[in-house]
């Protein structure tokens, strides 16, 4: 069985100061998809993760201290795909994919549109491109896991105040419809496959003591293609793990 974690760490250096390496050693995931690493390879402390058993594959942003994704894996992949070939996306370090013999896994950091119209427009362009990218990729990569910070709450159950946030980036109708489009392609929201309960969130604002009050958003996902449905063993969110304003989200798949 493979235990797979997706985690927006809001900076690898900050999360290391909070002991993420020690948590990984204890929790013992097979694969960790990280988003918002905010570091290049030298700043990431690759030797530390090598020491605890992980091969590290990074796609940092060109801009220092910004964005960036990584996948840490105990098993070495057959192939690593860095980025997607679109300059405005790749310069922000938003995608990386590892191919193994029985599945492929992608760590993706979707843009946020919360800072204003320019970034929201970029987010919508990203969504349009990414869906086409996945449609094309699915022709050759049949067993795909898409892990990451999508910066979108899919349903009212996924956000603490859906009425107040109905016009907020991250919960706009066109963004929520995009998640529907991904599901229509056959991808499964693994957490909701196992759990339909409310009040399960993966990100909380640092303001107003939001995390203690569980006033959160579920914006981090592990989606799997339908070809992996029979391999699903479990999925969970770990809100008590504190290295970031996000928490880890987990999926377990049979070998």
Ramachandran region, residue 3 (left: φ > 0; alpha: ψ -120 to 50; beta: rest): beta
Phi, psi at residue 159, to the nearest 5°?
-145, 145
Chain center to CA of 157: 19
Task: For residue 21, indicate whether it is catalytic.
Answer: no
- Please name every residue paired with 209 in a beta bridge, in sequence order, or none if there are none: none
141 CB-near residues (< 8 Å, 6+ apart): 99, 104
| Beta-carbon count within 10 A of 25 CB | 13
Residues contacting 223, CB < 8 A, separation 6+: 145, 146, 147, 182, 187, 188, 189, 190
CA dist 27 and 8 (Å) reads 17
Based on C-alpha coordinates, what's the Rg of the chain? 17
Q: State the DSSP H helix or E strand holding residue 145, giving kind and residue range, or none if neither.
A: strand 144-149
Q: Which of 21, 30, 149, 189 is catalytic?
A: 149
| Secondary structure element (H or E) that encloses residue 123, with its range | helix 117-137
Residues annotated as catalytic (active site), given as ranges: 149
């Amino acid at each position: 069985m493979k235990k797979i974690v997706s985690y927006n760490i809001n900076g690898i250096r900050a999360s290391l100061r909070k002991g993420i390496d020690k948590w990984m050693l204890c929790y013992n995931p097979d694969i960790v998809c990280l988003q918002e690493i905010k570091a290049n390879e030298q700043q990431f402390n690759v030797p530390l993760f090598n020491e605890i058993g992980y091969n590290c594959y990074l796609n940092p942003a060109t801009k220092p201290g910004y964005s960036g994704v990584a996948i840490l894996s105990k098993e070495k992949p057959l192939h690593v795909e860095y980025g997607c070939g679109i300059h405005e996306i790749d310069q922000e370090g938003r995608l990386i994919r590892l191919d193994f013999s029985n599945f492929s896994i992608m760590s993706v950091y979707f843009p946020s549109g919360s800072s204003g119209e320019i970034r929201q427009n970029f987010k919508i362009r990203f969504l349009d491109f990414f869906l086409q990218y996945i449609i094309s990729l699915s022709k050759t990569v049949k067993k795909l896991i898409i892990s990451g910070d999508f910066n979108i709450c899919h349903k009212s159950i996924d956000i603490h105040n859906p009425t107040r946030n109905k016009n907020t980036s991250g919960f706009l109708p066109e963004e929520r419809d995009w998640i529907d489009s991904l599901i229509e392609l056959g991808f499964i929201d693994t957490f909701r496959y196992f759990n339909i309960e409310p009040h399960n969130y993966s990100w909380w604002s640092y303001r107003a003591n939001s995390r203690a009050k569980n006033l959160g958003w579920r914006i981090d996902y592990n989606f799997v293609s339908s070809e992996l449905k029979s391999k699903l063993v479990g999925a969970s969110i770990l809100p008590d793990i504190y290295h970031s304003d996000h928490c880890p989200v987990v999926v377990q798949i049979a070998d």
